[in-house]
Amino acid sequence: MRDGFVKVAVSSPELRVADCTFNVENLIHKAKEMADRGVKVLAFPEFSLTGYTCHDLFLQDTLLAGAQDALWRYKNETKELPLVSVVGLPYSHRGRLYNVAAVVHGGKILALVPKSHIPMYAEFYEGRQFAPWDQNNVKIVLGWGEETLLGCRILFEDITFRDLTFAIEICEDLWVPTPPSSEHAMAGANLMINLSASDELTGKADYRRELVKNQSARTLSAYLYADASEGESTQDMVFGGHNMIVENGTILEQSDPFAQDHDLVTEIDLFRLRNERRRMSTFQLYEDPKEYGYDIVGFSLGELEETELTRHFSRTPFVPQTKSHREKRCEEILAIQAHGLAKRLRHMGCKSAVIGLSGGLDSTLALLVTVRAFDLLSLDRSGITAVTMPGFGTTNRTYENAVLLSGQLGTSLREISIEDATLQHFRDIGHDVDVQDITYENSQARERTQILMDIANQTGGMVIGTGDMSELALGWATYNGDHMSMYGVNSSVPKTLVRYLVQFFADVSNQKELRRTLYDILDTPVSPELLPPEEGEISQKTEDIVGPYELHDFFLYYVLRCGFTPGKIYRLAVYTFCEGYDKETIFQWLYTFYHRFFRQQFKRSCLPDGPKVGTVSVSPRGDLRMPSDAADTLWKEELDRIRASFV
């Protein structure tokens, strides 16, 4: 459970309708199997001890007694297991019959949670046998003399690992306008467990899936959905065992209806859920859940231990993960960028835009976006002035790609060499041209920006910024050089997403020559080209200096989006990039990230305007409000502890 990870499981074992002995043996076997796999929280379906489709047999004392006996056996034979589990059964209380979930741990029944909303439509008609629970929590004594709670407003909290607090709702409870889990979340539950028996109908799986995802997202919680499977009666309905484990609206694991294996095991990240709730100012927890009728039942899963990770973490968290979403997501991002720029051009009355076109990825995306904005405004693309400014490090490849791209997109092109102007500047400030230091590099970047700004004045236009969010996070921009523009269309687009967007544009383009140019740009190493080439090839490769952008974008996502500690991010990076990078290399670039991130905030504090396209931004007017002189001592101390582990 270190770093907030808790291994959870949902299982729909084979059952026989009304055969409590057969069912409990399968539940016990499955609980032991899950405990061996490190599972700490296990959910079984609704009426898992009896079967859901018993119908009027639920009114038979024999079945009710059999269910009680099965529960007693289950809790005794699982008492040594280091997990908490939830099983379903019928329970009779004061002349009424309830559909309940029994929470079992350490040989005890922590509580019985009854269903709040009983379906009355013909498909189910549970109201024939069961009553909804509509009262406060009460203390009860089970048939073998054990005292416990019965009620819907119960929070189950791990007293050792207090970030784990779960609550329960049962099947139909999720379908009502205000599910109990909504209030459970406000009371403090961050894990919802739903014991369900939802039959399969045409299209119902999709509806069910969206329902669970939306409730998980709305409550900023993890959600375990345990569904009845094929062992149920098929007299009038068929059940498919559509199980799900969802975290904050994202499906971590699910079993398709009628799949052979209904067992789901993965890890939920409770720290991430905690951080999400902390970020959302409109998410207000009850100050005292007891004032709202809640009881808190404590249990302990033992000392904190490191949960073995099995879930998937994307190497590129900013990039869409499925091809089915690719086109839609790319169109959305490009539309946000283009419409943002179009609004600014319209507001300023501009019919001219100026872009420094290097033949690299960032300026390529900026030009593609600007072309879209001009098309939206029905402006002639010739009003876009692409300026290529060869310098000491420019290679033929990037120069030629810049020229080709401008022509293929129908924009105006100006070529202005910066070599003479930069040499004059070196003479003016007394800098030796043979000293290729930061002055040598930044002078070229600032010269280029001066040219762009002055051409914008000549044309009555505005300079379009090309720098991306990854560069801004690392401070890989020359202050008042490429750092400055009049509107930065890429300012919230990380480098891995820039590449993805250009790739998408190339793939869908119907211009053969444009596709060829874009593909070559994608194959070109990322470089500022401020140092002379070697044998005609790029000598200054950005990723050799500051580190691989796929690592830095991974770090950036979990630092800003999730607020994770260096230790947790390092752990996730080692787990995710185990094929490709060793631990020492990952640590080296993580240290570089934090070092540069803290020291380069002054550049981000005065960024030009630019559209936000995702959930992370480094704009001081967007997501990141950070003092420029904040100390990184605490973060470096944790990094030093990681470094010590290498010795």
Beta-bridged to residue 488, according to DSSP, are 465
User: What is the pairing mode between strands 84-93 and 96-105?
Assistant: antiparallel
Find the farthest-apart pair of alpha carbons in the chain and give their distance in angstroms, rounded: 101
Q: Which residues contact 65 (CB under 8 A, 6 or more apart)?
A: none
Which tokens hold the place of 51? 């079967």
Which position among 30, 75, 115, 213 bears the catalytic label?
115
- DSSP letter at 260 equals S
Rounded Cα gap, residues 66 and 19, in angstroms: 8
Rounded Cα gap, residues 63 and 79, in angstroms: 24
3-state secondary structure 504-566: HHHHHCCCHHHHHHHHHHHHCCCCCCCCCCECCECCCCHHHHCCCHHHHHHHHHHHHHCCCCH
Residue with tokens 């544009």: 505
Which position among 7, 30, 40, 46 bears the catalytic label?
46
Based on the residue annotation, tell me whether 46 is a catalytic residue of this protein. Answer: yes
* Contact of 295 with 149, CB cutoff 8 Å: yes
CA-wise closest residue to 13 among 51, 39, 65, 41 = 51
Strands (DSSP E) contained in 208-352 are 222-227, 244-247, 250-254, 264-269, 295-299
137-144 contacts at long range (C-beta below 8 A, 24 or more positions apart): 137/293, 137/295, 140/93, 140/112, 142/68, 142/71, 142/72, 142/109, 143/68, 143/72, 144/72
User: What is the pairing mode between strands 165-170 and 191-196?
Assistant: parallel
Helices (H), ranges, 157-241:
180-187, 204-219
Which position among 171, 330, 350, 562 bears the catalytic label?
171
- What strands, in cross-sheet order, belong to the sheet with 5-10? 138-141, 147-150, 108-114, 96-105, 84-93, 41-43, 5-10, 264-269
Based on the residue annotation, tell me whether 603 is a catalytic residue of this protein. Answer: no
| 356 sits in which H/E element | strand 353-356
Rounded Cα gap, residues 365 and 190, in angstroms: 40
Rounded Cα gap, residues 150 and 102, in angstroms: 9
Rounded Cα gap, residues 22 and 14, in angstroms: 9
- DSSP letter at 239 equals B
Beta-bridged to residue 158, according to DSSP, are 299
* Contact of 551 with 573, CB cutoff 8 Å: yes
Based on the residue annotation, tell me whether 171 is a catalytic residue of this protein. Answer: yes
Pseudo-torsion of CA 45, 47, 51, 56, nearest 10°?
-150
So which residues are the catalytic ones? 46, 115, 171
